[in-house]
Amino acid sequence: MANKPGIPKGTRDFSPSELQKREFIFNTVRGVFQLYGYQQIETPAMENLTTLLGKYGDEGDRLIFRILNSGDFLSAVSEEEISTLGSARLSQKICEKGLRYDLTVPFARYVVQHREEIVFPFRRYQIQPVWRADRPQKGRYREFFQCDADVIGSDSLLNEYELIRIIDDVFEKLNLSVQIKVNNRKVLAGIAEYIGESARITDITVAIDKLEKIGIEAVNDELREKGVSEDAVRKLQPVFELKGPISSRLSGIAGMLAGSETGLQGISELQTLFSFMSEGSLSADVDLDLTLARGLNYYTGAIIEVKAADVAIGSICGGGRYDDLTGIFGLPGVSGVGISFGADRIYDVMEKLNLFEKVTGSPADVLIINFGGDELKYALRLAAMLRAAGIKTAFYPDAAKLKKQMSYADSSNIPVVIIAGEGEIKAGEVTLKIMSTGEQRKVSPGDIPGELSKIGI
Amino acid sequence: MANKPGIPKGTRDFSPSELQKREFIFNTVRGVFQLYGYQQIETPAMENLTTLLGKYGDEGDRLIFRILNSGDFLSAVSEEEISTLGSARLSQKICEKGLRYDLTVPFARYVVQHREEIVFPFRRYQIQPVWRADRPQKGRYREFFQCDADVIGSDSLLNEYELIRIIDDVFEKLNLSVQIKVNNRKVLAGIAEYIGESARITDITVAIDKLEKIGIEAVNDELREKGVSEDAVRKLQPVFELKGPISSRLSGIAGMLAGSETGLQGISELQTLFSFMSEGSLSADVDLDLTLARGLNYYTGAIIEVKAADVAIGSICGGGRYDDLTGIFGLPGVSGVGISFGADRIYDVMEKLNLFEKVTGSPADVLIINFGGDELKYALRLAAMLRAAGIKTAFYPDAAKLKKQMSYADSSNIPVVIIAGEGEIKAGEVTLKIMSTGEQRKVSPGDIPGELSKIGI
């Protein structure tokens, strides 16, 4: 026997039970997106490299999977170029297309390309795989799914509020306790201004974002390493020490940022957002976190991050506002705000907490035993009747021994077996066997749906 | 303004309304697959080229999109190789992975790789995109979806019957009249044997498969061109002339193939399959077509093809039995039978016949008008209440002029607008406006779900 065939490293097959679990998450997310009026779009797996390159930094460019031009790809390259260009530059000559790296850049491209057809404000969601040539490791894949929702073409903070409600609804429906943290990029800019280090805002946000992970001392050390002055580090400390209810922390930081117009604008936005939230009834714990930055420089307003309350696994959802998503494609001044659910991490958390109890991996609700011969026609009619009633019905294709068919039901986790042998057919009945208890009862065929609904099918 | 960005030729964006239509087809297909106990799997977009190459013929190999190895891909190639190998052979050195070309080969790979976990007979379905570097043209894309269902590990003809019922159920639910044609590869082999041209079976099946399209004379000419003897062509003619009910055509061909064991086996299989079908109540017209071959040499038993009754567009679903799907990956003797729905063509047919009437492209069932100020809180609570009742509710994010918000509802095809201004709130009511008729009525908030269900929402 030959070696077992394999798949590229960092990619996965999804077996039926894995897919049922993943689809449970996707269907929940999708259902909530739809309840809020978000519409699904899909974009192609392949984008032109001109669309992708330069949008994710140098590291991102390296991680984009490139598609070799089809046909005689070398004809576009001179012999000299082949031997002198080197891999990186040669790849530009022999590849025009790359695989989608995230859903945000393709969405920006979509908005610009289809702007005449789109009615703004446009709420879109997108659940598709993305590909990154990252080093594969536990929990990090080269093909993975993103579930994004964005509103584009509206500055209203009600959009941020709505997205937080969406997050809350999704995790409530998934039965997962989470903590939602909120910040605002303008406040971060205000803080950098206040401590006199506006030019180092990126270094500062990257460092303070690690507060929870590495502690105050290490954050301060990193700031000093990056060249932030001792005076600035000292001025920053009170930000870390703010305590109490959200409103008092907001007042506290407002006092410090009194001189920064941007900072005060951020605080006002946070106050409005939290005032919306104080109205509704959110299940999740929502908190202000003035150190939250999410390392992404393109956020310009709200920053949102979600962590599981009971499993330490990092962020399972995040997002924020970006004031100029489509500018890179020639349509400036379109503001957007969006969130992205990390399906793989949510899957891992739910697996750890045993939250997939309803997912059985079973192919069907019932298995109809195949006795062949004269009983076959009766059994086929039975199957058609059950399917017409919406009951997932598997039929054993061969008239194998009863024991073999029962064992198939057992190893497939099919919860109910229906037996219609000669005796049952004469009596106008079937035997319904519940696999988990072994209990058997005779019922008339028309009563099967009712019997099944009694046991929760 | 810069040029509009674009996408690679032969690929598509799916707008919300296009996606709603496509999902209507997928959900129907998926729902029926599940009713018959088929389980979904997914495989990665990228497969190792060793898995893909050599499975689709030379032409297929050329049409596989190759992924450039990441990092310094040239390091694996000597300078001499670079300048002498040429595109085709160099691509083998700098690419290890390719994009999925169909769902059948990845499924075969999956079965072999996961055979220890699979309970046989294994019914699986898979709905995923595939990629082919084909010349794009009307109705032919470089990225398109396949919807496959296969049963593997059972020789029973009940599987063929079940798949035909699945086809019938799907098209009945899509409200699409179809004709299902059935043949058997063994009968084709028997015919080739009977006319004394067994060695030319491929040429013969390719030629007679075109009967409907090009007529008898052209088929005979093609057979002669391929070197089929005049005597054989003459012996073949009665096959084309068989008329009458299926059973008499089967008897007629049985008379001719009396000397071919394979041929008689094929006829017996067809008789069994049609006897199953005479029992049930199929909506579609199912017919025997002794010239049906589907050009695919890997079919070894049943061959199935479906055409739309009212639109000439070629096959919209097809399939058959293959006796050795997994042999190429080192697991011989596993028989399978499967079908594949052509989602793009089904979409085109349904579009042509106006069968997407339920798909409105609307983001939501209702739009709640945003008056801002004191009315905002009331409106937000209303939105939360409607969503909790499962009603897709969009909220206008800005307190824009009423006219602008109404025009948003109109151009988004949102069927109902809910207005809760100062007057309504005081009266404990809302105004519900039905956009299609312009009719307005005052109702209490708790009655909104009931009012909506009256108008079919």
Query: What rounded mean pLDDT belongs to chain B?
Result: 94
In angstroms, the CA B11 to CA B344 distance is 13
In angstroms, the CA A135 to CA B117 distance is 28
In angstroms, the CA A68 to CA B92 distance is 11
pLDDT in tens, A35-76: 999 999 999 999 999 999 998 888 899 999 999 998 888 888
A199, A116: one domain: yes
- Residue that terminates a domain, selected from A317, A352, A387: A352
Instruction: Compute the nearest-CA separation of B62 from chain A (Å).
Output: 7
Q: Do B91 and A79 touch (CB under 8 A)?
A: no
Element holding A417 (H helix, E strand)? strand A416-419
Decide if pLDDT at B315 tops 70: yes
Question: Could you tell me if the ipTM is greater than 0.85?
Answer: yes
The answer, for B68 touching chain A at a CB cutoff of 8 Å, is: yes
B165: chain A residues, CB-CB within 8 Å: 384
Q: Which amino acid is at A146?
A: Q
In angstroms, the CA B204 to CA B215 distance is 14
Q: Do A19 and B38 touch (CB under 8 A)?
A: no
The answer, for A329 touching chain B at a CB cutoff of 8 Å, is: yes
Work out the percent of chain A whose per-residue pLDDT is above 70: 98
B312, B240: one domain: yes
pLDDT in tens, B363-397: 999 999 999 999 999 999 999 999 999 999 999 99
B2: chain A residues, CB-CB within 8 Å: 329-330
Whole-number pLDDT of residue B359: 87
Segment B168-196 shows an average pLDDT of 97
Q: B18 in the Ramachandran plot: left (φ > 0), alpha (ψ -120 to 50) or beta?
A: alpha
Q: Name which of A326, A304, A323 is nearest A315 in CA terms.
A: A304
Paired sense of beta strands A143-152 and A122-131, if any: antiparallel
Does residue A31 sit in helix, strand or coil?
A: helix
In angstroms, the CA A86 to CA B71 distance is 11
Q: Spell out the residues 6+ positions from residue A27 whose beta carbon is closer than 8 angstroms to its own.
A: none
Decide if pLDDT at A300 tops 70: yes
pLDDT in tens, A102-149: 999 999 999 999 999 999 999 999 999 999 999 988 888 999 999 999
pLDDT in tens, B260-293: 999 999 999 999 999 999 876 899 999 999 999 9
Decide if pLDDT at B82 tops 90: no
- How big is the A-B interface in CB pairs under 8 Å? 296
Residues A367 and A452: beta-carbon distance below 8 Å: no
Whole-number pLDDT of residue B4: 80
Local confidence band at B1 (pLDDT 50, 70, 90 cut-offs): very low
Is residue A35 domain-resident? no
DSSP H helical ranges for A328-374: 343-352
If you search the block for the tokens 């399939």, which residue do you land on? Answer: B319
Q: B228 in the Ramachandran plot: left (φ > 0), alpha (ψ -120 to 50) or beta?
A: beta
CA A385 to chain centre: 39
Whole-number pLDDT of residue B381: 93
A302: chain B residues, CB-CB within 8 Å: none
Instruction: Compute the nearest-CA separation of A102 from chain B (Å).
Output: 15
Whole-number pLDDT of residue A42: 98
Give φ, ψ of B86 to 5 degrees: 85, 160
Cis peptide before B238, with omega less than 30 degrees from 0?
Answer: no
pLDDT in tens, A76-89: 888 788 778 888 88
In angstroms, the CA A186 to CA A293 distance is 11
Is residue B381 domain-resident? yes
The answer, for B210 touching chain A at a CB cutoff of 8 Å, is: no
- Residue that terminates a domain, selected from B322, B352, B382: B352
Is residue A378 domain-resident? yes
Segment A352-361 shows an average pLDDT of 90
Domain that holds residue B394: 366-454
Distances (CA, A) of A404 to A370, A371, A441, B162: 11, 12, 21, 21
Q: Do B109 and A156 touch (CB under 8 A)?
A: no
Decide if pLDDT at B142 tops 80: yes
Is residue A342 domain-resident? yes
B444, B337: one domain: no
Using CA coordinates, name the residue in chain A closest to B51: A5
The total number of structural domains that make up chain B:
2
Is residue B304 domain-resident? yes
Q: Is the dihedral of CA A343, A347, A353, A354 positive or negative?
A: positive
B269, B228: one domain: yes
Is residue A424 domain-resident? yes
pTM: 0.94
Q: Name which of B335, B317, B318 is nearest B326 in CA terms.
A: B335
The answer, for A116 touching chain B at a CB cutoff of 8 Å, is: no
B148, B223: one domain: yes
Instruction: Compute the nearest-CA separation of B211 from chain A (Å).
Output: 34
A241, A375: one domain: no
Is residue B9 domain-resident? no
Rg of chain B on CA atoms, in Å = 28
Decide if pLDDT at B103 tops 80: yes
Q: Do A63 and B46 touch (CB under 8 A)?
A: no
Segment B178-183 shows an average pLDDT of 97
Q: How many helices (H) and strands (E) does chain A have?
A: 18, 16
B195, B271: one domain: yes
In angstroms, the CA B189 to CA B303 distance is 13
Instruction: Compute the nearest-CA separation of A148 from chain B (Å).
Output: 15
Give φ, ψ of B368 to 5 degrees: -95, 125
A232, A258: one domain: yes
What is the DSSP secondary structure assignment for residue A37, as one 8-state letter?
A: T
Q: Give the torsion through C-alpha atoms of A155, A156, A160, A165, to 10 deg.
A: -150
Helix pair A185-194, A246-256: axis angle to 10 deg: 40
Q: Spell out the residues 6+ positions from residue A68 whose beta carbon is closer than 8 angstroms to its own.
A: A94, A95, B65, B66, B67, B68, B91, B94, B95
CATH of the domain at B408: 3.40.50.800
In angstroms, the CA A16 to CA A257 distance is 54
Decide if pLDDT at A1 tops 60: no
B296, B440: one domain: no
Q: Do B390 and A35 touch (CB under 8 A)?
A: yes
CATH of the domain at A218: 3.30.930.10
In angstroms, the CA B447 to CA B389 distance is 11
Q: Name which of A40, A77, A403, A210 is nearest B364 in CA terms.
A: A40
Q: Name which of B128, B126, B124 is nearest B145 in CA terms.
A: B128
Is residue B39 domain-resident? no
Whole-number pLDDT of residue A348: 94
Residues A40 and B149: beta-carbon distance below 8 Å: no
Q: Do A46 and B394 touch (CB under 8 A)?
A: no
A376, A337: one domain: no
Residues found in chain B:
457
What 3 state SS string does chain B have?
CCCCCCCCCCCCCECHHHHHHHHHHHHHHHHHHHHCCCEECECCCEEEHHHHCCCCHHHHHHHCCEEECCCCHHHHCCHHHHHHCHHHHHHHHHEEEEECCCCHHHHHHHHHHCCCCCCCCEEEEEEEEEECCCCCECCECCEEEEEEEEEECCCCCHHHHHHHHHHHHHHHHCCCCEEEEEEEHHHHHHHHHHCCCHHHHHHHHHHHCCHHHHHHHHHHHHHHHCCCCHHHHHHHHHHHHCCCCHHHHHHHHHHHHHHCHHHHHHHHHHHHHHHHHHHCCCCCEEEECCCCCCCCCCCCCEEEEEEECCCCCCEEEEEEEECCCCHHHCCCCCCEEEEEECHHHHHHHHHHCCCCCCCCCCCCCEEECCCCCCHHHHHHHHHHHHHHCCCCEEECCCCCCHHHHHHHHHHCCCCEEEECCHHHHHHCCEEEEECCCCCEEEECHHHHHHHHHHCCC
What is the DSSP secondary structure assignment for residue A444, as one 8-state letter?
A: -
Q: Name which of B189, B387, B98, B269 is nearest A280 in CA terms.
A: B387
Residues found in chain A:
457
- Residue that terminates a domain, selected from A352, A376, A406: A352
Q: Do A87 and B73 touch (CB under 8 A)?
A: yes
B122, B264: one domain: yes
Provide the token pair at A251.
Answer: 């007042």
What is the DSSP secondary structure assignment for residue A74, as one 8-state letter?
A: G
In angstroms, the CA A223 to CA A203 distance is 7
In angstroms, the CA A31 to CA A444 distance is 37
Q: What does the buried/exposed string (b/e) look like for A73-103 if buried means 16 or more CB atoms within 10 Å of the residue's CB?
A: bbeebeeeebeebebeebbebbbbbbbbbbb
Does residue A374 sit in helix, strand or coil?
A: coil
pLDDT in tens, B333-365: 899 999 999 999 999 999 999 999 888 889 999
CA B184 to chain centre: 22
Does residue A372 sit in helix, strand or coil?
A: coil
B275, B379: one domain: no
The answer, for B126 touching chain A at a CB cutoff of 8 Å, is: no
